[in-house]
Structure 1
């Protein structure tokens, strides 16, 4: 290679190598500081696309877990209220049993019946007032067999969505809760027919016993249905958590930097940059040799 003044090819070549090594060092520094192997689309275009899909999947799954937990809280609210209704029905049957015997006078039965009606009114009050986040649970609001979510306010049974898509087999459950007012259970003054309506006479009290048994069974069916759905939701939460964990692990393989490997690259590029800077300094001084010849 000739010794020239106008073109310092050694310096140009060294500067190009310095630029390349410095760019690699910058990328390595960015990866180590962020903890990510893929920071921009230029790092891995296909990997970035897959990572973003997986991130969206993980976020959706985690929200699905929260949705399912909210549904469990709602079910527990309804079940707790039905537990109180259970106590009232048991007390009503106790009163009916008391009024069914012939050792009480008419006035005494009327007193017993007044408590019986009070218990029925309390059951209706509980059913009408039990709500979760403004959604009434036991007054028949969720007793419909169909679901309509086209309006601002959904009607019919309640839809619990926890999946990342909209497939009924995988992504949501319906919660249907039958009415638990006193009249719906067949007891109290609002009941249809005479059985269970009152215990003011011995005959009515005797007939009320069977009506109360049916009411207790109806209430137990509601609680059993809620309990089964709660268990199903708890299993769903476990499955969603596992899915989220595995998807996060897969996303980590694509996105996260291997610190040991990247630190090796960083050290290599750092040495190259330092060497290139030193060699560029030497290359830039070659022009002085030409000046020595001219002198």
Structure 2
């Protein structure tokens, strides 16, 4: 029997140390809720889980982008709906001006009304913006053609949805509306023609309003179809977010039932290890009996 090196005690201490490390790891998992808290827990699992988390965060942002884009398309649609109502009123005014029962003075008054209504179409185009971006023309200060608006709807550069380019919902952009505006302004300024001539010109301008409505409706349809695309994409993205988070959870999150059972097992082993160390240390005392 040897007493300088208590091998039994050393073995018991080593086993108890390993058990203590297991208990610490188990407590860390139970307190954080994560099965993987550091790379040493599961290096490959951590890498995969981090990629899934990044993907889920990107998808969540794409959903937010989509919701903002839907709001944008709704703003544009409501603005063009009001412009469409104005064009309907202008058409009614032209029909009123185009009949023989309307006097020169009446056509002059109608001309002033139409001028105001056409100017309001320009005001709507100028004022319809989202976060500083003009939706119905080039910019808030330029009545030129608007560019296509592109929305990022995924985690890849190619995951985009775009509106139609070329929107110019103002008097200079809607087919024939500028001519109606010019003629109405002339009527409102002074009588430049006979009643019959003014009535005939009013009738001739009716087709211009129809052309303007056709073009405006085509832009509204594009914004509407874009909104449908966006809403469909949002639903798909939300499904992807759910599935991606579920996949990450399987890898990263701790199973509390399983880990609690493991903690209790390690705790019992630790108590038994402490007892084993005590017994290993006490065996060396038996050597004293040989010396008596």
Which of 28, 32, 35 is equivalent to 2:26?
A: 28
Shift of 1:187: 5.1
Distance 1:37 1:143 in 2: 56
How much has 1:9 moved relative to structure 2? 1.0
Aligned residues: 275
**Counterpart in 1 of 2:43?**
45
**Cα separation, 1, equivalents of 2:149 and 2:81:** 21
- What displacement does 1:282 show? 2.2
Which residue number in structure 1 is paired with residue 209 of structure 2? 212
User: Is the Cα contact below 8 Å between 1:187 and 1:197 reproduced in 2?
Assistant: no
Change (3 A) 1:83 1:95: same
1:42-69 Cα distance to aligned partner (Å, 9 max, x none): 1111111111111100000000000111
CA separation in 1, counterparts of 2:176 and 2:287? 114
Per the alignment, residue 165 of structure 1 pairs with 156
The more displaced of 73-82 and 277-286 is: 277-286
DSSP 3-state at the match of 2:172? helix
Q: Which residue of 1 aligns with 2:168?
A: 179
Matched, 1:278 2:263: no
Matched, 1:88 2:86: yes
The 8 Å contact of residues 186 and 197 in structure 1, kept in 2 or not, is answered as no
What are structure 1's unaligned runs of at least 5 residues?
145-155
Matching of residues 120-269 of structure 1 within 5 Å: 120-141=118-139, 143=145, 156-167=147-158, 171-176=159-164, 178-186=167-175, 191=178, 194=179, 197-199=182-184, 200=187, 201-269=198-266
1:195–1:87 CA distance, 2 compared to 1 (3 A): closer
What are the superposed Cα offsets for residues 110-152 of structure 1, whole Å, 9 maximum, x if unpaired? 11110000000000011011100000111235945xxxxxxxx
CA RMSD of aligned residues (A): 1.7
Gaps of 5+ in 2: 188-197
**Residue among 116, 119, 133 paired with 1:118:** 116
CA contact (8 A) 1:55 1:251 kept: yes
Distance 1:291 1:157 in 2: 95
- In the superposition, the TM-score normalised over structure 1's length comes to 0.88
Flag the structure with higher helix content.
Answer: 2
> How far 1:27 sits from its partner (Å)?
1.1
Q: Deviations over 1:202-256 (max 9, x none)?
A: 1221011110111111111111111111011100001111111111111111111
